[in-house]
Chain A
Amino acid sequence: MNFPILTWITFLPLLGMLIILLIPSGKDEKGQELSKTIIRWIAAGVTFIQLILALVIFFNYNKGLTGVNDPASFQFVEKISWINAELPMIGNIRIEYFLGLDGLSVPMVLLTAIISFLAIFPSFGINKAVKGYFAMYLLLDLGMMGVFLALDFFLFYIFWELMLLPMYFLIGIWGGPRKEYAAIKFFIYTLVGSVVMLLVMIGLYHSTGTFNIIEMMDQGRFLPDSIFGGSGTTLRYVAFMGLFIGFAIKVPVFPFHTWLPDAHVEAPTPISVILAGVLLKMGAYGMLRIAFPIFPDAFAYFQTLIAWIGMVSIVYGALCALGQHKVGKRDFKKLIAYSSVSHMGLVILGLASMRPEGVTGAIFQMFNHGIITAMLFMIVGVIYDRAHTRGLDDFGGLARKMPVYTGIMTIAFFAAIGLPGMSGFISEVLVFLGAFKAYPVLTVVSGLSIILGAGYMLWALQKIFFGQLPEKWQGPWDPTGKLYKTDDVNLREMVALIPLGILVIFLGVYPNPVLHLMTGSVNSFIELMKPVLN
């Protein structure tokens, strides 16, 4: 195929951003801001085309090719020399514009496209500086897509940093009361990871003479006397740990997770959706694509530690979520944020197991967690928009007032606690199956999360939907009837929620469409890692 589809899917948001920036802001004769609507629909249109492109990729993706460390079996590859310079002291710098897809990245690209498009709809509720918001939104979209597609470490790094900036502004400008704190916390945390990544990247370049991620996986390429040469050296361990922590911050795992609750609580609804839906996956993806296969010896050395980190995150996150009903403001978003720590811990545990079931489960869990948590945050957004509070104690008895909403919410909640028939179940079970083979005791302890998860989720469900409706919500949400004509979810919200709900159930019953994408790649990934594992 000569059509550079990956470039298009990555840089289409940039085009959209330029168009949006060129639209003059102004009011029509009635004082209505015309440009707002136009900007919103342009953003929706751009992300929709992106989704179509992602679907084209999905249907044309050849499941027989494995990728991972074999450059010949990557698909939709675009590779051109980008920077080629002879620099004093450093030597020859060769950086390539190298995009490509394999089974590890296809699910993530699909997820990014789905979430970026659907999160546009809750964004319609943003009224402050609309132009700036959607420009930043699309830039963020570009960065995320690029991270999952880049196969050149330098390019990866640029996309990684590129995504950081708009996120900072999206939280810092359009966020809640403590937005500055949350934004700067997010920024600094991620930056710490980036700095380490940069150092390791330079070291790797010196050791291998390339920025090409696939070539770096070839241990034969490392010059024997270079800093990362050899196998099992201290420097390699340090470099691996640096990369791992850099990515782990993003996942996030205990103890690097505290930026997440703050970022979620302060971020506006659609940004929470993107944060939980896509951004958290970049960390685990980075481990899968870069840290583990480039330093397999160091992975083997730290494997048990990583499994422990996964287990601790799972149980700790679940306990913190459960503890939300005892301390603090009982913020709904905080509860979900901690449940994310718990659910992403499963990804780490699955990866640490390095078994086909575990790794497949981990990638599928990344996908499912993206979908399910996106749903949960949108659901919080729905009542927050109406009641202007997210306090769990402020509600009760909503089931009667909003039956359709309750139905959708029930699907999301049950998906989050891993109910069979929903996609989350399959990934959780796969992770457990894989992890049990490698770490039986840790896995059973992690299994506590299925009890704790039911505890906090059902508690939240009960708090919000069951019991009696409080006095103050007895009337309609919006007595003027301008913003909300009915009390239940409106069409715009349903457009975003229903597809996610359908996806959750469909993949829960028939997970093959997504699992097939990764099967080959996971197998060759395991093959790649196997020689160093005992």
Chain B
Amino acid sequence: MNHDLILQLGLIILLAPLLSFVVNVFFGHRLQRRSGWVGTAILGIEVVLAAIVAFGKLALNGDLPTVQTTYEWFVVGHYQVKIGYGIDNIAAIMLLVVTVISFLVHLFSTIYMEGDRRYPKFYAFLGLFTFSMLGIVLANNFLMMYVFWELVGISSYSLIGFWYEKDSASNAGKKAFITNRIGDLGFLTGILILFATYGSFMFDDIYAGIASGALPFASPAMLTLAGVGVFMGAMGKSAQWPLHVWLPDAMEGPTPVSALIHAATMVAAGVYLITKVFFMFTADALTVIASIGTITAFVSATIAITQVDFKKVLAYSTVSQLGFMVMALGTGGYTNGFFHLVTHAWFKAALFLAAGSVIHALHHAMHQLHDHHSDPQDINNMGGLRKTMPWTYRTFLFVTLALAGIPLTSGFLSKDGILAGTLAWAHLAGGWHWIVPVMAFSAAGMTAFYMFRLTIIAFHGEPKTPIAARTHENKLPIVLPLVVLSLLTFWFVYSPNPIDASSGWFHQRVVQPQTAVPAAYQWDFLIAADGHGSNALQHATHHFHTLAMILSLLIAGSGIALAFIIYQYKLVSADKLAQRFRRLHTFSYNKWYFDELYQATVIAFVMGTSKAMAWFDNVVVDGIVNLSAAFTRLAGKITGIFDHVVIDGLVNLIARLTGIFGAGLRKVQTGRIQSYIVFVLLGLLVLFYFFV
């Protein structure tokens, strides 16, 4: 298959969901129920096209670098701003992941969202989201990445707040968007540093620029800063600690949205971004990435243990798994990090859609029982769903095994790779770096525990409420996606060997790129010895593979066993445990009080400052203006008084004096002829006196 065909198909794949958006926005009210089918049909075609492209790239052109094209977008000064898109191996895989999950979610929603008054809008936003996400996948430059990055943010905002009548929903949407923007400021800063240095947004140009030895502001610290900046963008989208708080709240959105956006694809965008620009991270930047990923994986696993909301457990599990991926990339495990992204996408989408199936069934049952108060997402309202919803249960159980990292699943392959990678990395880097694998393994153990806690409470035992007893298995458009996603979670999709993926097609096709960073600022074990072969870290990872497998199986097994002991066989009372470790339990149940902490610090500070500024503006700045106006008026008044009293007074004084003088003189004018004769004679006498 030639390159032009791949690129043309790529463009069609990118634009078709936009068509779905436009059609549903403008004609949705006429299409009504059919709008769902329009969207689903378009996505169905997308899947076929994506499969062709993936085959064309991976199977036929697998060894080639990115198949890409660039266009001039606009001209500024003497500079042409270029954009473009490209398909490399990871993009080809992502295309398939995004289109397939989006298609399944479209299909699932035809039942799940049935009867919603804004049904066409829902499909419009799904289309917009798919378009934006595919834009991220296909971008071969930072500018386009940033453009679609924001568009994904806005479609996520719209979908989280889809049921905007609820304040909690619109608040969650706002929180997600603003938290993401904090990351985006870092992302933008990173892009600005790179653009100012290398004069281009293109990944290839930046690669060449860094590889040529030119550093931003001639400082390796600035290259690290650029890397950390870009990573901040990823932290926002991929809900990494400390920006993770928006993702659990995002569960306010309809459950298919949670599956598509907040489990499988959008939140993976951050990880995808790190993978895409992996070449530019210095050793310091990678350490930051590894630390953040590890903390995220650990912290959110501890929170997931005590949550009682079905979707919240899954949400924290998502955050934790995203932490695993970021940690993998930070510890140099390029292939395994991306591998986990892909395997996780399938099984986490399945988990969420299964959650949707359960919630939908409970809703129905509540409707039948005229119950409007119970919470259909509270796992304590469930129980016994194993019997009423057998297909949902089977698929859920299987993908839970994958998440827990049990062999024969894809999750085992990818998680095992990551854990081995952390061991190898700690071994090579030494010292305190050993904290990373320790935390990673304990997070893996907790994952197994909380997932089986969830499974047992929700599906096993007897129904805890009448509604749970009245549930039924859902229709085919809901069950089918579960089955498909479960099938994609089997090991054989990636590798013929169920315990080692390195011989499978995935690891053959997703090969760690050469780092562009000068050797002085990069881990020596990440630099391939002969320029093309594998590096020291990969060798060590291979070496630690068996140890990691044994350890992770032991830990996951004990986690599962513990869950069974506590929740299935009730040998230890969960309530008593919670009582015993009340402080820990409360701390975990309240999510480490991150929301409260941010409320009390960052938000309070910003709000306080803004309030102070608004006050300052109103009172001080405007006050000075009004004061100066008042002074002017006062000065006017004073001059007015001066004018009135002094100037005018002088004039009046003269007038009055003249008047007085006149009045005095008037006395003389008696009108009697005798007096005048006397005056004339007196005058004559005076004249005589002077002149004679």
Chain A residues with a Cβ under 8 A of chain B: 185, 188, 254-255, 257-259, 316, 319-320, 322-324, 326-328, 338, 355-357, 360-361, 397, 399-400, 407, 414, 419-421, 425-426, 429-430, 432-433, 436-437, 440, 443-444, 447-448, 450-452, 454-455, 458-459, 462, 465-468, 510-512, 515-516, 519, 522-523, 526
Which of A255, A258, A512 counts the most chain B CB atoms within 10 A?
A258
Q: How far is the CB of B81 from chain A (nearest CB, A)?
A: 9
* B: contact size bracket: 35 or more
Report B-chain residues with C-beta under 8 Å of the C-beta of A324.
614
17 CB < 8 A contacts A-B: A188-B629, A257-B621, A316-B613, A320-B614, A323-B613, A326-B614, A327-B614, A356-B76, A419-B154, A432-B188, A433-B195, A437-B196, A450-B188, A451-B185, A452-B610, A512-B75, A526-B77
A332 to chain B, nearest CB (A): 15
Q: Is B182 an interface residue (CB 8 A)?
A: yes
Q: Determine which of A419, A425, A450, A526 lies in contact with B185 in the assembled complex, contact meaning CB atoms within 8 Å.
A: A450
**CB of B150 closer than 8 Å to a CB of A:** yes
B128 shortest CB reach to chain A, Å: 10
Query: Which one of A327, A328, A522 has the highest number of Cβ atoms from chain B below 10 Å of its Cβ?
Result: A327
Which residues from chain B contact A257 at a C-beta distance below 8 Å? 621
- Which one, B162-170, B355-363, B400-408, B588-596, is touching chain A? B162-170
A-B pairs with lowest CB-CB distance, top 6: A356-B77, A323-B614, A323-B610, A420-B147, A326-B611, A322-B610
Tell me whether B613 and A519 are in contact (CB under 8 A).
Answer: no
B173-200 Cβ-contact flags toward A at 8 Å (1 or 0)? 1100110011011001100110110000
Q: Are A516 and B78 closer than 8 Å at their CB atoms?
A: no
> Which residue of B165, B177, B193, B611 contacts A454 across the interface (Cβ within 8 Å)?
B177
Q: Is B606 an interface residue (CB 8 A)?
A: yes
- Partner of B77 from A421, A468, A519 at Cβ < 8 Å: A519
Tell me the residues in window 130-188 of chain B with beta carbons closer than 8 Å to chain A beta carbons: 143, 146-148, 150-151, 154, 157, 161, 164-165, 167, 170-171, 173-174, 177-178, 181-182, 184-185, 188
A397 touches B182 (CB 8 A): no
Interface string of B60-80 (1 = CB under 8 A from A): 000000000000001111110
Known: A255-B621, A419-B150, A420-B147. A322 touches B188 (CB 8 A): no
Residues of A near B147 (CB, < 8 A) are 420-421, 425
Q: Which residues of B contact A433 (CB under 8 A)?
A: 192, 195-196
Complex: how many Å from CA A440 to CA B182? 18
Do B617 and A450 touch (CB < 8 A)? no
B654 within 8 A of A: no
How many whole Å from A192's CB to the nearest CB in chain B? 10
CB proximity of B243 to chain A, nearest CB, Å: 12
Q: Is B634 an interface residue (CB 8 A)?
A: no
In the complex, chain A residues whose CB is within 8 Å of the CB of B612: 323
16 additional A-B residue pairs with CB within 8 Å, beyond A444-B185, A467-B167: A185-B629, A255-B621, A320-B617, A322-B606, A322-B610, A322-B614, A323-B611, A357-B77, A357-B79, A420-B146, A425-B147, A436-B196, A440-B192, A444-B192, A450-B188, A466-B167
Q: Is the CB of B74 within 8 A of A512?
A: yes
B79 x A467 contact (CB < 8 A): no
B615 within 8 A of A: yes
Q: How long is the Cα–Cα vector from A115 to B363 in the complex, in angstroms? A: 52
Query: Known contacts being A357-B79, A451-B181, is A319 close to B614, with CB within 8 Å?
Result: yes
How far does the alpha carbon of A397 sit from the alpha carbon of B188 in the complex, in Å? 34
Across the interface, do A414 and B154 meet the contact criterion of CB distance under 8 Å? Answer: yes
CB distance from B339 to the nearest CB of A (A): 30
Contacts of B613 in A (CB 8 A): 316, 319-320, 323
The one of A326, A414, A466 that contacts B607, using a Cβ cutoff of 8 Å: A326
B680 within 8 A of A: no
Q: Which residue of A lies closest to B117 (CB)?
A: A400
Which residues, 187 to 237 on B, are CB-close (under 8 Å) to A? 188-189, 192-193, 195-196
Min CB gap A114→B, angstroms: 20
Option from A255, A432, A458 in Cβ contact (under 8 Å) with B174:
A458
| Closest A residue to B121 using CB positions | A403
A-chain residues with CB within 8 Å of residue B610 when the two chains form the complex:
319-320, 322-323, 326, 452
| Interchain CB contact under 8 A, A436 and B192 | yes
Q: Given the complex, which residues of B lie within 8 Å of A419, measured CB to CB?
A: 150-151, 154
Q: A467 is contacted by which of B75, B165, B615 (Cβ under 8 Å)?
A: B165
CB of B652 closer than 8 Å to a CB of A? no
A interface footprint on B3-14 (CB within 8 Å = 1, 0 otherwise): 000000000000
Q: Write out the residue numbers on chain B whose beta carbons fall within 8 Å of the beta carbon of A323.
A: 609-615, 617
Q: How far is the CA of A64 from the CA of B185 in the complex (A)?
A: 37
* Given the contacts A328-B614, A436-B192, A451-B181, A522 and B164 also touching, CB distance less than 8 Å: no
User: What chain B residues lie within 8 Å of A452 (beta carbons)?
Assistant: 606, 610
Which residues does chain B contribute within 8 Å of A421, judged by CB atoms? 147, 151
Which of the residues A357, A450, A516 comes within 8 Å of B184, measured between beta carbons?
A: A450
User: Which residue of chain B has its CB nearest to the CB of A437?
Assistant: B196
B residues near A (Cβ < 8 Å) are 25, 74-79, 143, 146-148, 150-151, 154, 157, 161, 164-165, 167, 170-171, 173-174, 177-178, 181-182, 184-185, 188-189, 192-193, 195-196, 606-607, 609-615, 617-618, 621-622, 625, 629
The CA of A512 and the CA of B609, in the complex, are separated in Å by: 39
Pair A511/B77 contact, Cβ less than 8 Å = no
Residue of B nearest to A356 (CB): B77
Cβ-defined partner of B181 (8 Å) among A320, A328, A450: A450
A258 with B617: CB separation less than 8 A: yes
Q: Which residues of B contact A454 (CB under 8 A)?
A: 177-178, 181
Nearest Cβ in chain B — how far from A115, in angstroms? 23
Q: Kindly state the separation between the CA atoms of A256 and B4 in the bound complex, as whole angstroms.
A: 57
Please name all residues of chain A whose beta carbon is closer than 8 Å to the beta carbon of B79 when the two chains form the complex. 356-357
Contacts of A357 in B (CB 8 A): 76-77, 79
A426 pairs with B614, CB closer than 8 A? no
The residue that B188 contacts in the complex, of A320, A355, A447, A468, with Cβ under 8 A, is A447
Name B195's closest neighbour in chain A (CB-CB).
A433
Q: Shortest distance in angstroms between B178's beta carbon and chain A's nearest beta carbon?
A: 5
Q: How far is the CA of A322 from the CA of B185 in the complex (A)?
A: 18
Most buried by B among A316, A320, A397, A400: A320
**Contact of A440 with B614 in the complex, beta carbons under 8 Å:** no
> Do B74 and A511 touch across chains, with their CB atoms under 8 A apart?
yes
**In the complex, A20→B511 CA distance in Å?**
75
CB closest residue in chain B, given A397: B165
Cα of A407 to Cα of B21 in the assembled complex, Å: 14
How many angstroms between the C-alpha atoms of A338 and B616 in the bound complex? 13
Complex Cα–Cα for A510 and B77 (A): 17
A458 and B170 CA atoms in complex are apart in Å by 9
Q: Which residues of B contact A523 (CB under 8 A)?
A: 77-78
Q: Which residues of A contact B25 (CB under 8 A)?
A: 407
User: Are A319 and B609 neighbours in the complex by a CB distance under 8 Å?
Assistant: yes
**Per a CB cutoff under 8 Å, which of A258, A319, A397, A519 touches B625?**
A258
Q: A355: which B residues are within 8 A, CB to CB?
A: 77
- Complex Cα spacing A322 to B606, Å: 9
Cβ contact within 8 Å between A467 and B164: yes
A residues within 8 A CB of B607?
322, 326
Q: What is the CA–CA distance of A433 and B188 in the complex, to the nearest angstrom? A: 10
Complex interface: chain A residues within 8 A of B192 (CB): 432-433, 436, 440, 443-444
Please measure, in the bound complex, the distance between the C-alpha atom of A328 and the C-alpha atom of B622, giving whole angstroms: 14
> In this complex, what residue of A is CB-closest to B609?
A319
Which chain A residues lie closer than 8 Å to B609 at the CB level? 319, 323
**B75 cross-chain contacts in A, Cβ below 8 A:** 512, 515-516, 519
Chain A nearest Cβ from B121, distance in angstroms: 9
With the chains together, A356 CA to B154 CA distance in Å? 30
- Interchain nearest-CB distance for B199 vs A (Å): 10
Chain A contacts for B629, CB-based, 8 A: 185, 188
Residue contact B74 to A444, C-beta cutoff 8 Å: no
User: Do A451 and B182 touch across chains, with their CB atoms under 8 A apart?
Assistant: yes
A467 touches B77 (CB 8 A): no
Query: For the complex, what is the distance from the CA of A222 to the CA of B220, rounded to whole Å?
Result: 48
Give the chain A neighbours of B171 by CB distance below 8 A. 462
Instruction: Give A452 to B603 CA distance when docked, in angstroms.
Output: 11
- What is the CA–CA distance of A455 and B151 in the complex, to the nearest angstrom? 17
